[in-house]
């Protein structure tokens, strides 16, 4: 513990899960996240855990459902097309309030798309994805160390709120190597899983279901979930800022794009442009209030994404009509360069936006 090691993002996620006490992993191969199941297949037997390669993402995510019912800390990982296949289980787990950690190492889409990094699954992750009124807690790391730290956090949040938590990465974060420090996990005071189906010994039976045929009861359940989501929104907003205090142009970006945007901020500052960065870390709950406050003194906001523009809708909800919200994005697996972002900054500054 405490040692600095060089790790691939995908492997950092896997090791973080082990550190968080996850001993059950179910998954199905898909590029660009195969290092995770490969790592787990080596590592799980060493720590007395279970690695199982499922027959599909559909089955894998339902194995997660089962393991979560049995009270285990459990994870599955995939990339965009595979995450689409998991939406059924995700909706059921949200409905049945089962804790689990899901990782999406996003690649370009739609359809089979490509295998290069993308952020085009933002809507799917934060606005539903599956059917029904529900929310996932969605965390967006932007370094290998953060992949590790937030994966550990994800397990705690899942147990704390009895809710699936998604780590939204991308192919670049998954494939890159950076130094990480393996940290001892701070002890969390988590509620006991008295609801788990582990055998009705000396207690009435437990039933886990998302079925509620009586709409009166289902509405009550939905409202109770809504209260929980509100609690999460009050307690779990995460974000970081970089040189944002005096920024006339405020960039908003998450994940890999935030790294690129930060490089653009550095070059812009060298050129005397007052540019800063707001980086949402929790994509749900989205840091609406914090962004509004940070942007208060800015003249304009520029959202940078590896998509056609998805998070920008949340940014607009935060900023409302108080100032212009511009967008620069690359999609299909292409990545914006710091130079491109800088050009865009200069363009909007020049145009007087």
Partner 1 sequence: MKQVFGRPDALTDVPTHYCPGCTHGIIHRLVAEVIDELGVRERTIGISPVGCAVLAYDYFNCDFVEASHGRAPAVATGIKRVLPDSVVFCYQGDGDLASIGAAEIVHAATRGEKITVIFVNNAIYGMTGGQMAPTTLPGQRTTTSPRGRDVESAGYPIRVAELLSSLSGVAYIARVSATSPANVTKAKRAVRKAFEMQIDGKGFSLVEFLSTCPINWGMSPLEAMKWVDEKMSLYYPLGDYTQVPEVG
Partner 2 sequence: MHEEVVFAGFGGQGVLLIGQLVTYAGMIEGANVSWMPSYGPEMRGGTANCQVVVSSKEVSSPLVTEPTSLIALNKPSLDKFAPWVKRGGLIIYNSSLIQSPPGRTDVRVLAVPANEVANELGDLRIANMVALGAYLATSRVVSCDTVLDAMKRVLPERRHNLIPLNRQALARGIEIASVWHSRDRGDVSGRQ
Give the residues lining the site for partner 2 (CB under 8 A). 4, 6, 31-32, 115-116, 171-172, 175-179, 256, 259-260, 262-263, 265-266, 335, 337-339
Site string for partner 1, 196-215 (x = CB under 8 A): -xxxxxx--xxxxxxx----
Is 92 an interacting residue with respect to partner 1 (CB under 8 A)? yes
The footprint of partner 1 on this chain (CB under 8 A) covers a number of residues equal to 39
Nearer to partner 1, 56 or 337 (CB): 56
In this structure, are strands 275-280 and 239-242 parallel, antiparallel, or unpaired? antiparallel
Does 65 help bind partner 1 (rule: CB under 8 A)?
yes
Minimum CB separation of residue 222 from partner 1 in Å reads: 17
For partner 1, which stretch binds (CB under 8 A), given 89-97, 214-222, 315-323, 341-349?
89-97
Spatial contact of 331 and 108, defined as CB atoms under 8 Å apart: yes
Question: How far apart are the C-alpha atoms of 242 and 44, rounded to whole Å?
Answer: 38
Backbone angles phi and psi of 147, in degrees to 5:
-55, -45
Please tell me the distance from the alpha carbon of residue 53 to that of residue 267, in angstroms, as a whole number.
45
Among 62, 77, 142, 307, binds partner 1 (CB under 8 A): 62
The phi, psi pair for 106, rounded to 5°, reads: -65, 140
Number of C-beta neighbours around residue 256 at 10 A: 27
Residue 105 or residue 315: which is nearer to partner 2 going by CB?
A: 105
Considering only residues 292 to 331 of the shown chain, the ones binding partner 1 according to CB under 8 A are none
Candidate ranges 14-22, 58-66, 226-234, 325-333; the one touching partner 1 (CB under 8 A): 58-66
* Three-state secondary-structure class, residue 152: helix
**308 is written with which tokens?**
């056609």
In the complex with partner 1, the residue whose CB is nearer, 2 or 48, is: 48
208: partner contacted, choices partner 1, partner 2, none (Cβ within 5-8 A by kind): partner 1
Spatial CB neighbours of 194, under 8 Å, sequence gap ≥ 6: none
Query: What's the angle, vertex CA 140, arms to CA 135 and CA 144, rounded to 5?
Result: 145
Q: What are phi and psi of 189, to 5 degrees?
A: -90, 95
Per-residue DSSP letter, 107: B
Is residue 55 at the binding interface for partner 1, with CB under 8 A as the rule? yes
**Least distance (Å) from partner 2 to the CB of residue 312?**
21
Q: How far is the CB of 26 from partner 1 (least distance, A)?
A: 7
Q: Is 87 a binder of partner 1 (CB under 8 A)?
A: no
Smallest distance from partner 1 to CB 199, Å = 4
Q: Which residues contact 289 (CB under 8 A, 6 or more apart)?
A: 237, 318
Report the chain's terminal Cα–Cα distance, integer Å: 50
Q: Which is nearer to partner 1, 66 or 81 (CB)?
A: 66
Q: Which residues of 314-343 are buried (b: 16+ CB within 10 A; e: fewer)?
A: bbeebbeeeeebbbbbbbebebbebeebbe
Query: CB of 137 within 8 A of CB of 161?
Result: yes
Q: Which does 4 bind (CB under 5 to 8 A by kind): partner 1, partner 2, none?
A: partner 2
**Smallest gap from residue 71 Cβ to partner 1 (A):** 7
Q: What is the footprint of partner 1 within residues 158-197 (CB under 8 A)?
A: 197
What residues numbered 99-128 form the site for partner 1, per CB under 8 A?
Answer: none
Tell me which of 18, 72, 86, 319 binds partner 1, using CB under 8 A.
Answer: 72
Site residues, partner 1 (CB under 8 A): 24, 26, 50, 52, 54-56, 58-60, 62-72, 74, 88-89, 92, 96, 197-202, 205-211
């Amino acid at each position: 513990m405490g040692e600095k090691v060089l790790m691939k993002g995908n492997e950092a996620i896997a090791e973080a899960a082990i550190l968080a006490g996850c001993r059950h992993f179910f998954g199905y191969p898909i590029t660009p996240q195969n290092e995770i199941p490969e790592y787990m297949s080596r590592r799980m037997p060493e720590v007395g855990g279970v690695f199982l390669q499922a027959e599909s993402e559909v089955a894998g995510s339902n194995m997660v459902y089962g393991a979560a019912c049995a009270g285990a800390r459990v994870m599955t990982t995939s990339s965009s097309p595979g995450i689409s296949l998991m939406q059924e289980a995700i909706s059921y787990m949200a409905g049945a309030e089962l804790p689990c950690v899901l990782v999406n190492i996003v690649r370009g889409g739609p359809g089979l798309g490509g295998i290069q990094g993308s952020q085009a699954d933002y809507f799917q992750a934060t606005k539903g994805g599956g059917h029904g009124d529900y929310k996932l807690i969605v965390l967006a790391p932007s370094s290998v160390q953060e992949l590790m730290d937030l994966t550990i956090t994800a397990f705690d949040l899942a147990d704390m709120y009895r809710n699936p938590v998604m780590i939204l990465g991308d192919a670049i974060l998954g494939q890159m190597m950076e130094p990480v420090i393996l940290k001892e996990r701070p002890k969390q005071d988590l509620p006991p899983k008295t609801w788990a189906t582990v055998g009705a010994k000396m207690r009435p039976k437990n039933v886990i279901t998302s079925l509620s045929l009586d709409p009166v009861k289902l509405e009550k359940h939905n409202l109770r979930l809504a209260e929980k989501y509100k609690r999460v929104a009050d307690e779990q907003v995460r974000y970081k800022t970089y040189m944002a205090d005096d920024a006339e142009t405020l960039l908003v970006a998450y994940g890999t794009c935030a790294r690129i945007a930060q490089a653009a901020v550095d070059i812009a500052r060298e050129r005397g442009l007052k540019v800063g960065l707001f980086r949402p870390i929790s994509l749900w709950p989205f840091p609406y209030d914090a962004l509004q406050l940070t942007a208060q003194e800015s003249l304009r906001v520029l959202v940078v994404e590896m998509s056609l523009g998805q998070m920008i809708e949340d940014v607009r909800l935060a900023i409302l009509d108080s100032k212009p919200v511009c967008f620069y994005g690359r999609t299909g697996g292409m990545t914006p360069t710091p130079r491109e972002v800088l050009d865009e900054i200069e363009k909007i500054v020049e145009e007087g936006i």
